[in-house]
Amino acid sequence: MSDLDLIITNVSVVVPGEAEPQPLDIGVKAGRIARLEADLDPAVAEQVVDAGGKVAFPGVVDAHQHWGIYNPLSEDAVSESRASAQGGVTTALTYMRTGQYYLNKGGPYAEFFPEVLELTDGRAHVDYAFHLAPMSQGHIAEIPDLVAEHGVTSFKIFMFYGGHGLHGRSTDQSSFLMTPEGERYDYAHFEFVMRGVQEARQKFPEIADQISLSLHCETAEIMTAYTKLVEEDGTLTGLPAYSASRPPHSEGLAVTIAAYLAHETELPTINLLHLTSRKAVEAALLMADAFPHIDFRREVTVGHLLADCDTAHGVGGKVNPPLRPREDVEALWSYLIDGKIDWVVSDHACCKEELKFGEPQDDVFLAKSGFGGAEYLLAGMVSEGSRRGVPLGRIAELTATNPARRYGLGASKGSLELGKDADIALVDTTVTWTVRAEDSESTQEYTPFEGAELTAKVTDTFVRGHRVMTDGVVGGEPVGRYLRRPTA
């Protein structure tokens, strides 16, 4: 019997503590990294892969996806996990909640979540886990059971849902949320969610730091008022109009409210999701100074780093919070380079053309919110990050190490180290290529990144040593597993 199942040779490896890749071979045994040494003897392995001088990154831990939001969950688990593998993502953390979209039903998670697990079992090409949103009082009471029985350690609040429509106009939220009669999804509910998460942290002290709450920070009242202003004025159209209808100070105000509620409830593990603007990050940093006992983490998306509302390809770039003007894109990069951003995600939400666009198609307020992007996450970060002088080691931290640690995956995912899962993305940093939606594994037929030129490309992806993408082609049977957190 061979000592190793697999050796990846002729490769530069991004390892923890090093800014740039190191000339090491990767030895894999039973799905885990068993050796990291220069010049491993190929005779000791059953299989040898010559990486051709490429760079080995830790498989991306994409901490923000939305499988099943617009398409059946069972279908997205297949196609969007293939798109994930195409982008070097080896672990997808996807948001799930009751109400319209997703499974289109309410009720307790004790009934709802087993169905989620059944619909995804055996279908995904990458490993996956779920964040859950407590939408009702009953869901808050279920938090400890979700931690203990299902290994769900991360939860979410959508701060605008109680008073503003998902796609841009105010709507009847009671039918959309499917919450019990007499309950409201408002700031009081957010407070009680925080108290529920903090009680779970106290109940499970050994994993308390890996139990966290994430918030989508926008303010319904501000967005409702500004949507009316923008539409009545009529000067702006397309993505610039949508950005103006959900202004950056709406994010900043929501961040301050979320931060004070965290202080009030003594919940220290808070994740501020997809911050899009200078004002949003400024507010997040002010709150970190005001409440130093709260361990805030700050997330941005690759979409908000690569595209702006003036140059993105069409209304397909509509997303919540919106793509912003170029000055906000530059501000995000400045904060990232200064170490103020903790991780980068895709916010992948596949929405096919037939559902995405209204009539007329160019009316941004009739379009659905969200688009895919996992297939461009690592390539985009290496391309643009390298151009801006961001070390490859830092890119690995932003795309894999930091989210893995926060979300209870750090024992097995997020870095190329001995004993961890052999989740590996091989990246060719010498190639220039053009983004075309038709080349994506996603079932989405468009992308706001259409025509963008990237200077790095993921060619091969390994999930626990399984080669799920070879020379740019995703193939084979699904090998993805549901991850109970924290992983051992």
Q: Quick one: tokens of 56? A: 């080995």
Same domain for 39 and 98? Answer: no
What gap in Å lies between CA 379 and CA 472, rounded to an integer?
Answer: 12
Domain that holds residue 174: 59-410+430-453
Same domain for 32 and 106? Answer: no
CATH at 45: 2.30.40.10
Question: CA-CA distances (angstroms) from residue 159 to 38, 251, 330?
Answer: 50, 10, 26
The values of phi and psi at residue 462, to 5°, are: -120, 130
Does residue 487 fall inside a structural domain?
A: no
Same domain for 265 and 308? Answer: yes
Same domain for 11 and 152? Answer: no
Same domain for 213 and 336? Answer: yes
User: For the segment 158-203, what is each residue's pLDDT rounded down to a tens digit?
Assistant: 999 988 878 876 444 556 889 999 999 999 999 999 999 999 999 9
Buried b / exposed e over 2-29, threshold 16 CB at 10 Å, is: eebbbbbbebbbbbeeeeebeebbbbbb
User: For the segment 220-266, what is each residue's pLDDT rounded down to a tens digit?
Assistant: 999 999 999 999 999 999 999 999 999 999 999 999 999 999 999 99
Same domain for 117 and 8? Answer: no
CATH at 311: 3.20.20.140
User: For the segment 40-96, what is each residue's pLDDT rounded down to a tens digit?
Assistant: 999 999 999 999 999 999 999 999 999 999 999 999 999 999 999 999 999 999 999
Does residue 249 fall inside a structural domain?
A: yes
Banded model confidence at residue 460, pLDDT cuts 50, 70, 90: very high
Longest alpha-carbon distance in the chain: 73
CA 122 to mean position of chain CA atoms = 21
Does residue 246 fall inside a structural domain?
A: yes
Same domain for 366 and 340? Answer: yes
Same domain for 184 and 75? Answer: yes
Does residue 133 fall inside a structural domain?
A: yes
Does residue 419 fall inside a structural domain?
A: no
Does residue 396 fall inside a structural domain?
A: yes
Same domain for 265 and 144? Answer: yes
Residue 453 identity: E
Task: Confirm whether pTM is higher than 0.75.
Answer: yes
Other C-beta atoms closer than 10 Å to the C-beta of 141 total 13
Same domain for 157 and 264? Answer: yes
Quote the number of domains for the chain.
2
Check residue 170 and give its pLDDT: 46
DSSP string, 29-55: ETTEEEEEETT--GGGEEEEEE-TT-E
Contact between 218 and 236 under an 8 Å Cβ cutoff? The reply is: no
The beta strands (E) that lie in 212-351 are given as 212-216, 269-272, 295-301, 343-345
Query: Any alpha helices (H) in 99-167, and if so which ranges?
Result: 109-120, 137-150
Same domain for 113 and 190? Answer: yes
Does pLDDT of 20 surpass 80?
A: yes
Does residue 369 fall inside a structural domain?
A: yes
Same domain for 100 and 217? Answer: yes
Does residue 33 fall inside a structural domain?
A: yes
3-class DSSP state of 239: helix
